[in-house]
Amino acid sequence: MKNLKIRFTHILKVFLGPVLGINLMLMLVPASPGAQEADSQTFSLKQAREFAIQHNYDAQKSLMDVSIAAKIRRQTVGAGLPQINSSVSYQNNLELPTVLIPDFFGGNPDEFIEIQFGTQHNASAALTVSQLVFNGSYFVGLATSRIYQQLADQGFERTQLQVKETVTSTYYTILISKESEKIINANLDNLEKTLYEIRESYKEGFVEETDADNVQINVTSLKNTLQNLQKQTKTAYDLLKFQMGVDLAEEIELSESLDDVLTRAGIEKAMAATFNLNQSIDFQLTQTQEKMAEMNFKNEKTKYWPSLAAFYSLSFNAQRNRFNFMDFSNKWYRSQIVGLTLDFPIFKSGSQKAKVQQAAIELDQARTATRQIAQGLLLQDTQAQNSLNAAYENYLNVKDNMDLSQKVYDVTLIKYQEGLATSLDLTQANDRYLLSQSNYIQALLALLNSKNTLDRIRNSYD
């Protein structure tokens, strides 16, 4: 009986395995203050993913990054469009500057006379239009801004994929927990029925009291396990709500069962499919980062090139000894300027050369990273597919074992009822059946998680 208790304790631990880590994760989830009760919402797995893509906190932040990238691109484009500036200035010469000039007027050029030029009040209004004609960095920047936008879009897609993966995993965990509850309830009913029959037999003197005590221990342990499992299921629901962006105070329900998700999982199709590296968002991101490094290299090289800008300026100036600029009977003097500015770098003390060399090294790093990611993803896919194959084989074997264990238990129960088997035989058969069910649940969870991992790598969620 001691060995029986040890096996029974192991069974309870296995049943709790799928959800043991959830409490620690939920410690990191902040509670929503002042949340109100809401009507229960029901989600299929696909609906839960779609809802999470719209409301998950990380997905929302990633979508903001996409908007920021669009604004940055608009800034880059705007830098090369015509720029118009205006200015108004006023100057009060409290004391006009004095200039010494030779006394040509008095016929004494060797002597100097003091002269003050200007007026006390001066005002000006100017309008300047400038247009970039040619700048290498600007044209490279235009191409870079498009790549940066693409990088943000791919980052958002990657976040969506990660959200789908985590939501799917938690959805599976809840289904596994609920299925475990059903199994434990069913076994609890059988044990309680067996316990009642053993106690009746004990009253008649056909069995010892320890037989009933041992079964009672198992019944109590199963009840405790069921209570813990129910708490873990609730915790898993809270984790799913957090991942989906649902208020923790709201209630949600899952509309699909384990059989539903297993039927739609397409396990055999996934095992037969091949990996297309170009469909991997991680590989696409690495390629885009390589393009960014290439644009940075080009940008540093274009800084050796000249830049050309055109400008036009229109200004009005007025000089007064009295502050009467609003009196338009007095003249404002107009001036116009049009011109070109050519900026040609000549010597930068080797600093620009070092920047070009640095950008070239960073480009080589990016290319190496692309090759590394490509090989790493191929390896990950191979490992994930092998894991899926192994999990599927194990699932089929464990399912057969569960069916056999149930058959053995049913036969032992009939023998016990006919007096051909002892209560110990029945308890052991029940424990084996319980263990086979637990193994089945674990194999099913491993199978679904392996498929989930493969979908994440291949970006193949439906």
pLDDT, mean of each 10-residue run, the chain (462 residues)? 45 48 42 48 94 94 93 90 93 87 78 84 94 91 93 94 95 92 85 79 72 80 88 93 93 91 88 91 95 94 92 92 81 92 87 92 96 95 95 94 90 80 77 87 93 92 82
Q: What superfamily does domain 2-19+38-80+136-305+350-458 belong to in CATH?
A: Outer membrane efflux proteins (OEP) (1.20.1600.10)
Question: How would you classify the pairing of strands 307-320 and 83-92?
Answer: unpaired
Q: What's the pLDDT at 82?
A: 92
- Please give the structure tokens belonging to residue 27: 């410690």
Alpha-carbon distances, residue 412 vs 213, 229, 402, 417 (angstroms): 20, 29, 15, 9
State the amino acid at position 68 in one-letter form: I
* pLDDT at position 386: 95
Check: CB of residue 164 under 8 Å from CB of residue 244: no
Q: Tokens 């490509």 identify what position?
A: 374
Three-class SS of the chain: CHHHHHHHHHHHHHHHHHHCCHHHHHCCCCCCCCCCCCCCEEECHHHHHHHHHHHCHHHHHHHHHHHHHHHHHHHHHHHCCCEEEEEEEEEECCCCCEEEEEECCCCEEEEEEEEECCCCEEEEEEEEEEEEEECHHHHHHHHHHHHHHHHHHHHHHHHHHHHHHHHHHHHHHHHHHHHHHHHHHHHHHHHHHHHHHHHHHHHCCCCCHHHHHHHHHHHHHHHHHHHHHHHHHHHHHHHHHHHHCCCCCCCEEECCCHHHHHHHCCHHHHHHCCCCHHHCHHHHHHHHHHHHHHHHHHHHHHCCCCEEEEEEEEEEEEEECCCCCCCCCCCCEEEEEEEEEEECCCCCCCHHHHHHHHHHHHHHHHHHHHHHHHHHHHHHHHHHHHHHHHHHHHHHHHHHHHHHHHHHHHHHHHHHHCCCCCHHHHHHHHHHHHHHHHHHHHHHHHHHHHHHHHHHHHCCCC
Q: Which two tokens stand for residue 252?
A: 């949600």
> What's the pTM value of the predicted model, to 2 decimals?
0.78
Alpha-carbon span 56 to 239, nearest angstrom: 12
Domain boundaries, the chain: 2-19+38-80+136-305+350-458, 87-134+310-344
Nearest C-alpha neighbor of 153 from the set 75, 253, 82, 67? 67
Q: Say how many CA atoms lie within 13 Å of 332 toward its Cβ.
A: 14
159: left (phi over 0), alpha (psi -120 to 50) or beta: alpha
Q: What is the largest CA-CA distance in the chain?
A: 151
pLDDT for 20 = 43
pLDDT of amino acid 209: 75
222 vs 188: CA distance, rounded Å: 7
| Nearest alpha-carbon partner for 131 in 79, 166, 171, 174 | 79
pLDDT at 17: 54
Q: Are 229 and 16 in contact (CB under 8 A)?
A: yes
For residues 180 and 341, give the distance between their C-alpha atoms in angstroms, rounded to a whole number: 78
The distance of Cα 435 from the centroid of its chain, to the nearest Å, equals 38
**Residue 206 pLDDT:** 66
pLDDT for the residue numbered 423: 67
